[in-house]
Structure 1
Amino acid sequence: MAEKKIVPLRADVKPELTWDLTLVFKTEQDFEHAFAKVKEKAADFQQYQGTLQTGAAALLQAVKSLLAIDRQAEKVYVYASMKNDQDTTDSYYHGLFSRVQALIAQISGQCAWFKPEVLALGSKKLATYYQAEPGLQEYRQFLADMMRFKEHTLEPAQEELLASMSDILETPANIFSVLDDADLQFEDVIDSNGSRVELTDSTYNQLIQSPDRSVRQQAFTKLYQVYHQFARTFAQTLGSHVHIQNFDAQTRNYANARQAALNQNNIPETVYDSLVTAVHQHADLLQRYVALRQRTLGLEDLAMYDLYTPLTGKPELSYSFENAKKIALQALAVLGKDYVEQVQEAFDNRYIDVIHNKGKRGGAYSGGAYDTPPYILLNWNDDLDSLYTLVHEMGHSMHSQFTKHNQPYQYGDYSIFVAEIASTTNENLLTAYLLEHETDPQVRAYVLNYYLDGFKGTVYRQTQFAEFEQWLHETDGLGQPLTAEQMSAKYLQLNQQYYGKTVGKTPQIADEWTRIPHFYYDFYVYQYATGFAAATTLANNILDDDPKHTADYLNYLKAGSSDYPIEIMRRAGVDMTTENYLESAFQVFEERLTELEKLL
């Protein structure tokens, strides 16, 4: 039998394929110095407590001090979390990250008095402060956003208590992360060549796309066999997290946890409901796509593990990381010279951690702070999905770069709601580029198939997640226990509703909820779907050769948190309080589905 493919140890990965975290701190001593410094500054911040009523100058000084603490704490957090993510089996960096999490909780407690004291000033007194101290003007949106939470803010002592417990309240998510990334072990999969492939979260994503049905069935079955074994543990962990979120929402006078989560970015709950309604109305398109899969693959019975393999078989499309970088630069050239130069900087300066190694966190993300590079974590597989992931995460990183280069620190980040729009706009631009330059019918069919799969996974699947997440919170809110059996039964029912009663009933998929980290992100997932739909409109605008549309898009990237997300997107050309952008997205999906049907 052929030799087993081994996942390398971190120490065996070539340095040029790893991110360079010395750009954050050159040495561990530098990190420790910064750690001690921010701890000291947070303790000193309490000197301002009780002074905000004395005048505008005191408020200005306190705001500046608070933001300086946040800025330094972010940098410390980024370093420790990324060191931990690159190898979760490294006990030293796992301990380092735990120390930072405890520090953040301590800082939160020490600074918790600030928000209630600002709210106690009231809008009228704050208005007089703006008149008296011109320096406060640059923090006006920052303070106005804080004032929105007046009815949801507790007394200073209560806020301090809750803030100091933040690391404890994150325990369920931390347990899930360790269990999912470091502790679960799966049986090897025998690939089409007879080689033994170590099954991990990263290799699973590649194996499930195999044209060999036995390979993808093995990967699917062996993966979910282990998750099912630990389903009760995952149910306890996720149920605890949901209960914490409901408790926090109730404590802060919200109607429910969803309202609390969406209010963080001033998003109306109708945006969430409109998404679910629109997806239900277009479920027939998803099931039409599923039916096309079954016909094309020539299968009597289509299972969930058949939904990821390319319909036409994989053409000779393999992307080394070097080749993918060139394609990314070409596809994103429509965004202008400055954008491309920023992407090139990321490629040239080791901002990207490329390949999978033992213990490395699965998946991909863009991360960093105001004073660090916009790093990207990947788990590269030399396939089209890796190319799309690179372009997707680069969208996040460029969003961060343009924001940091155009906004002061207090507005130098952006809300989760708009974050996924930048990344999925890049994906749409890549799809348009590939369809423009590929004339081979098989390759075009593959790209169309890839787009439809992406739409399925982003709009349909994430909305399914959103429905399940809402059910979790509603069930817990009614005082009903969240058992593994109940969770799996509900998840399977939703799966059948989306994919049809035949395909959707694949039994193992009932346990998919056990392996979704985003359920610990508090009503995050719906934003993937709304972001993808908005990105469809923006990408079409960018490609219509009207310079104003591209300029509007770049201004959105530069806006950071200088205004509320809904307003930023409206200026960019998408009104997300209406359903028009959702209908546009489904129209594109149907057009490309029709084109694929004709090609096949």
Structure 2
Amino acid sequence: MSTFYQEKLNFQDPTSVEQSYKNLLNEDIETVKEMEAWLKQHSQIQNYIEEGLTGHYIDFQCQSDSETAKKAFEYDQQVIEPLVKKYEALLDEKFLSSPIKNQLDPLYYREFLKSKMNAKELFRESNIALEIEEDRLTTHYFEHTGSLTVDWNGEEKTLSEISTYLEDSNRKIRKKAMTLTVEAFISKETELQNIMSDLIELRHRKAENADLPNYRDYMFKKYERFDYTPEDCTNLAVAIQKHVTPLNKRLQREHQKELGVDVYRPWDRKGVSNEQKPLQPFHNRNELVEKTTQIFSNLEPRFAELITTMDKHGMLDLTTRKGKSPGGFCAPLPVSELSFIFMNASKTHDDMTTLLHEMGHCIHNDLTKDLPLSKYRDTPMESAELASMTMELLTMDQWHLFYDDQEDLRRAKKDHLTGIVGFLPFGMVVDQFQHWLYENPNHTPAERKMKFKELQFQIDSSIVDWTGYEEWSEITWLRILHIFEVPFYFVEYVIAQLGALQMYKQYRTNPEKTLENYKQALSLGASKSLSEVYKAAGIRFDFSEEMIKNLMEFVEEELEALND
């Protein structure tokens, strides 16, 4: 279909793909030199596989209403991915059973060995069939959500397109936009709830097959969360509730006062006052790319070169359209040595920061592309999101390139910092919700809705009045694709955001050193532990109460400076 990725293997001939693995399995390894050469060959095959699978995934996300894209994607899920999982487990066994592994450099291969032993402990061939069904269910989620549109004054619009109206100064327009958005998801609630119920049942079986008490524990091993525990996540939620939620409520009260409303409703949260217009940093797709490139030219020429090259090769699908899946992501293409950015821009400030965010991932991929082991290029999400969230903050002093008006620039910076404060409690709601889902796999959809509402009240208590619209609050999670597609991927955003604030604090006093630390940390990929990566960045892998309290005090100081 698309030409932005390279297909080095013929997926339509799975026997040839299988033969590539068999050749590796049959190879004799008698020396350290042969072992390292074998590992590099293995990494090359993994690169070929990843490039093809990722390319087909991108095709489907870009055209979720395309039968051709869907068939290619589902073929990969049903044929290629099971084959890959089977042979990767066999290759792991070959590596771990070889006495030569003990002669490898213990410092360089420490994380690699840890990962391989963990994968062996987790792998069960009986789970492969379950994962095929799991993939089928998540595909259905995107089919349902990617097709959602609404009638806006006689014109069919995607949900991304009407999201701009949530920022309107006219309260009636804001309410209309939110009502249409929520009603669109309510129209699909039964289908999405059924998908979720099926996923939970299936995922619990996977955990049982792996001799684990629940799917939460399974995913902590799957994500190789060696640096923290489920209990740490619970403690993080408590710390966020204690030190972030009160600040968030105070900022909401200030916003309520700016809007001049007696009651702060769900559709008021992004609204602007009657004297203001919603922030619009760009007018079209090309302007967004050009100004982002200019920012990177000032920050680091290689970053600008990267986005220019990606744009030239058709790797920036940035605008919303019917049939395109919701959300945004950056996908590495290891053979092409570039990344693909997918997003649904509708000319808002969030779209600007989303591109900067996703470019942080692209930069991360670029800095790790020369690591010889593909495993070390597969960075954990806590450092991957550190790369992207830090990039949002490091570029703030150049946002004047998007905002000529000084008042708009001030508002943009204030909104961004306020948004971080607002996200942290919500992020922990989503995380703790997922813990509950899989610790209590026999719950009902009604109980699911009540639990989400309860966690919002507990962790993210706010001044928003949901009276008469309680159901809206209860189904908010249906829009979060991570819960369906990449379960338990959300606490990383919170952890990384706290790291990014540390980076920004460092940047405010020494920008040159911070940028060097940033590049140095990201270049490590997964070759070091998270604690070591964060240390290389000049910060701490620390989400203690003390750290959170100090960071919120810093954010308050930054906000006060913007108000002066």
Superposition TM-score, scaled by structure 1 size: 0.82
Which residue does 1:40 correspond to in 2?
16
Deviating more after overlay: 92-101 vs 316-325? 316-325
Letter in 2 for 1:488: K
CA distance in 2: counterparts of 1:367 and 1:275, whole angstroms: 29
- Answer whether contact 1:459 1:530 (CA < 8 A) is retained: no
Distance change >3 Å, CA 278–CA 334, structure 1 → 2: farther
Deviation at 1:21, TM superposition (A): 4.2
- Answer whether contact 1:206 1:381 (CA < 8 A) is retained: yes
Q: Deviations over 1:92-131 (max 9, x none)?
A: 111111112221122212433233454456xxx455443x
CA distance in 2: counterparts of 1:153 and 1:377, whole angstroms: 31
Which residue does 1:242 correspond to in 2?
200
Distance change >3 Å, CA 149–CA 107, structure 1 → 2: closer
- Answer whether contact 1:271 1:577 (CA < 8 A) is retained: no
CA distance in 1: counterparts of 2:280 and 2:55, whole angstroms: 36
Q: 1:493 pairs with 415, 433, 454, which one? A: 454
Letter in 2 for 1:252: A
CA distance in 2: counterparts of 1:405 and 1:110, whole angstroms: 25
- Answer whether contact 2:253 2:463 (CA < 8 A) is retained: no
Give the alignment of 1:293-372 within 5 angstroms. Answer: 293-311=255-273, 313-314=276-277, 317-320=280-283, 321-333=285-297, 335-372=299-336
CA distance in 1: counterparts of 2:74 and 2:269, whole angstroms: 39
Q: 2:476 pairs with 496, 502, 512, which one? A: 512
Q: 1:189 pairs with 147, 152, 156, which one? A: 152
CA distance in 1: counterparts of 2:358 and 2:495, whole angstroms: 17
Deviation at 1:246, TM superposition (A): 3.2
Which residue does 1:88 correspond to in 2?
64
Q: 2:75 pairs with 86, 99, 110, which one? A: 99
- Answer whether contact 2:158 2:321 (CA < 8 A) is retained: no
Letter in 1 for 2:248: L
Deviation at 1:355, TM superposition (A): 1.9
Deviation at 1:316, TM superposition (A): 6.7
Which residue does 1:24 correspond to in 2?
5
Give the alignment of 1:233-272 within 5 angstroms. Answer: 233-254=191-212, 256-263=214-221, 264-265=223-224, 266-269=226-229, 271-272=232-233
- Answer whether contact 1:331 1:433 (CA < 8 A) is retained: yes
Which residue does 2:548 correspond to in 1?
582
Q: Deviations over 1:554-599 (max 9, x none)?
A: 1112111212223211221222145254334322332344456x56
Give the alignment of 1:466-485 within 5 angstroms. Answer: 466-476=431-441, 480-483=442-445, 485=446
Which residue does 1:17 correspond to in 2?
none
Which residue does 1:214 correspond to in 2?
172
Which residue does 1:561 correspond to in 2?
526
2:408 counterpart SS class: helix
Distance change >3 Å, CA 495–CA 37, structure 1 → 2: same
1:481 counterpart SS class: coil
1:375 counterpart SS class: strand
Q: Which runs of no fewer than 5 residues in structure 2 stay unpaired?
A: none
- Answer whether contact 1:370 1:412 (CA < 8 A) is retained: no
Distance change >3 Å, CA 432–CA 244, structure 1 → 2: farther
Superposition TM-score, scaled by structure 2 size: 0.87
Give the alignment of 1:216-235 within 5 angstroms. Answer: 216-235=174-193
The yes-or-no answer on 1:503 pairing with 2:468 is no
- Answer whether contact 1:109 1:164 (CA < 8 A) is retained: no
Q: Deviations over 1:519-547 (max 9, x none)?
A: 12121111111111111111332343364
Deviation at 1:220, TM superposition (A): 1.4
CA distance in 2: counterparts of 1:419 and 1:571, whole angstroms: 14
- Answer whether contact 1:431 1:451 (CA < 8 A) is retained: no
2:162 counterpart SS class: helix
Letter in 1 for 2:361: H
1:451 counterpart SS class: helix
CA distance in 1: counterparts of 2:107 and 2:453, whole angstroms: 52
Distance change >3 Å, CA 119–CA 482, structure 1 → 2: farther
Paired residue total: 551
Q: 2:116 pairs with 135, 143, 146, which one? A: 146
Q: Deviations over 1:167-211 (max 9, x none)?
A: 2232322221111112x453x134xxxxx4434231132222222
Distance change >3 Å, CA 256–CA 313, structure 1 → 2: farther
1:112 counterpart SS class: helix
Distance change >3 Å, CA 24–CA 502, structure 1 → 2: closer
- Answer whether contact 2:4 2:313 (CA < 8 A) is retained: no
CA distance in 2: counterparts of 1:348 and 1:367, whole angstroms: 17
Deviation at 1:425, TM superposition (A): 0.9
Letter in 2 for 1:370: P
Q: Deviations over 1:195-245 (max 9, x none)?
A: x44342311322222222212211211222232233232222112223333
- Answer whether contact 2:317 2:343 (CA < 8 A) is retained: yes
2:333 counterpart SS class: coil
CA distance in 2: counterparts of 1:371 and 1:201, whole angstroms: 34
Cα RMSD for the two superposed structures: 3.2
Letter in 2 for 1:41: V
